[in-house]
A and B are shown apart, each in its own frame.
Chain A
């Protein structure tokens, strides 16, 4: 399966690889062609499965031997019991689902922990484009024009931490990603995207 091996690991994927313990059970919502799941199964011996809505991506997953289900996350995760997985991952698709609150609540119900990654709408470049140019921002982490974007929701790092405390989710880990390296200060201004490891407070 060497042709499937991922040579250049994306920065967000390598953070997630660090966060997931060896042999964990993982469900990824919106797993795409399964790059991350494949990495987790190969490098962390994780027991992985995914949900994906795009048919072509399903084909890629199946060709990699990944178990994947062709379904819409917005329809909920009622087929999974509470705490059925060690981790539920929603990476870079939270902003695309119709009901992010449902997706997140389901993620922390079905997963003992959830890992959530999203583009940071409060990055200084988006702020500049909106504030000074008066246009809907187009940046490397938000690369779409307003008329053809799959993104339905725009949130910042501050929005997400506020959401977590309001909903009683504890934040166990966080990482802020710049273009080429991690961001360690003024994250809501300097980070292109963010990753959080969260769980439901019991």
Chain B
């Protein structure tokens, strides 16, 4: 285990808040409380409490973004970007990564205990939105006594949270780096999510979400994940990774996976069900599909009043969150008078590029952040 350029051994922390009657009011009109949020922090908060950066994960991610958990061989999901001298430099910044409500990685979600019934929520869990996720995170920041964030950033669903933060809490965000994301889910994005949801709900073990005392719908969830993985890659990255190579087969049964790509998808699907809850997949994909930052108004109107400086990053081969969606964000920023920088990186990795193209992102993020710090040092806020 190489720890010299990593944040070393880290631990996930948990905060429980929104105890009734101070429940969190959700966008749906329902209330949720108490709420537990899982989060991790790296680096240290400075005296003025001005160096905090809040990072957000994508659909299936968790709070463990960097460093190693005790006894683990693999680091957090964005370890290449977070650590000493890395893009989000833990020598300079206090980096927080927060899990989302609705999830199953230590935060309150459909698999959590419903205090009213003493059983897991299942489908009694209320519908949640990206806005609800960030409103819960705002309570976490209150708890950490961080009034203003130097930066909010994340890729994919993490980028949506960054955008929503900048819009919902304009006075608390000094800069935003939304990566490989969109201001609203497109019909194509909704369609892929729907296929995943239908696969889960078609699994007889799903049982209307009530499977916690029995067998979970692993086949359905695994198929959902397989569809997801196809959309995260590109034609070129799949060709490079698998070609038309055959995998080793023990016996020659019909329709057993022949090709490496089939074996890979099954492997990813099978692994996913070990760590992810099918109901959380339904809830979070719905939150993604409902996401619409402007809600029928024009995006630049919604961005009016946003104070944050933006760095928007997209990837040329990302066909799930195509670059035009990022360009639309940049365009709206400009119309709203927001200082925005945009870069469309060349990469073959498709949507996954935000997790893999570390070098280029590191360069952009590093310089962008030092500039944000500098412009603030000159008395501007």
Contact = CB atoms under 8 A, between A and B. Distances in A.
A24 interface: no
A98 interface: no
B327 A67 contact: no
A58 B341 CA distance: 9
Contact of B331 (A61, A68, A70, A78): A78
Given A62-B368, A63-B363, A81 B342 contact: no
B367 A65 contact: yes
A65 B371 contact: yes
Nearest to A78: B331
Contacts of B375: 65
Interface in B69-128: none
A105 interface: no
B341 A62 contact: yes
Given A59-B364, A79-B330, A79-B334, A65 B374 contact: yes
Nearest to B313: A70
Contacts, number: 51
Given A62-B367, A62-B368, A65-B367, A79 B335 contact: yes
A144 interface: no
Contacts of A61: 341
Interface residues of B, number: 25
B339 interface: yes
Given A55-B345, A68-B341, A71-B342, A79 B331 contact: yes
B340 A67 contact: yes
A59 B343 CA distance: 9
Contacts of A49: 339
Interface in A42-68: 49, 55, 58-59, 61-63, 65-68
B19 interface: no
Interface string B349-381: 000000000001001100110110011000000
Contacts of A68: 341-342
Contacts of A78: 331
B367 A58 contact: no
A79 B368 CA distance: 22
B364 A62 contact: yes
A69 B341 contact: yes
Contacts of A55: 343-346
A163 B332 CA distance: 33
Contacts of A62: 311, 341, 343, 363-364, 367-368
A80 interface: yes
Nearest to B363: A59
A69 B330 contact: yes
Given A79-B331, A80-B334, A70 B363 contact: no
Contacts of B346: 55
Contacts of A70: 342-344
Contacts of B368: 62
Interface string A166-177: 000000000000
A155 B163 CA distance: 45
A55 B342 CA distance: 10
Nearest to A80: B334
Contacts of A80: 334-335
A95 to B, nearest CB: 24
A68 B343 CA distance: 8
B307 to A, nearest CB: 15
Contacts of B367: 62-63, 65
Nearest to B310: A67
A80 B363 CA distance: 28
A55 to B, nearest CB: 6
A71 B329 CA distance: 13
Interface string A63-100: 10111111100000011110000000000000000000
A43 to B, nearest CB: 17
Contacts of B341: 61-62, 66-69
A55 B343 CA distance: 7
A62 B309 CA distance: 13
Contacts of A79: 330-332, 334-335
Interface of B: 309, 311, 327, 330-332, 334-335, 339-346, 360, 363-364, 367-368, 370-371, 374-375
14 contacts: A59-B343, A59-B364, A62-B364, A63-B363, A65-B370, A65-B375, A67-B309, A68-B341, A69-B334, A79-B330, A79-B331, A79-B332, A79-B334, A81-B335
Interface of A: 49, 55, 58-59, 61-63, 65-71, 78-81
Given A62-B343, A79-B330, 4 more contacts: A55-B344, A58-B343, A62-B367, A65-B371
Query: Which 7 A-B pairs have CB atoms at the shortest separation, nearest pair first?
Result: A79-B331, A65-B371, A69-B342, A79-B334, A63-B367, A70-B344, A70-B343
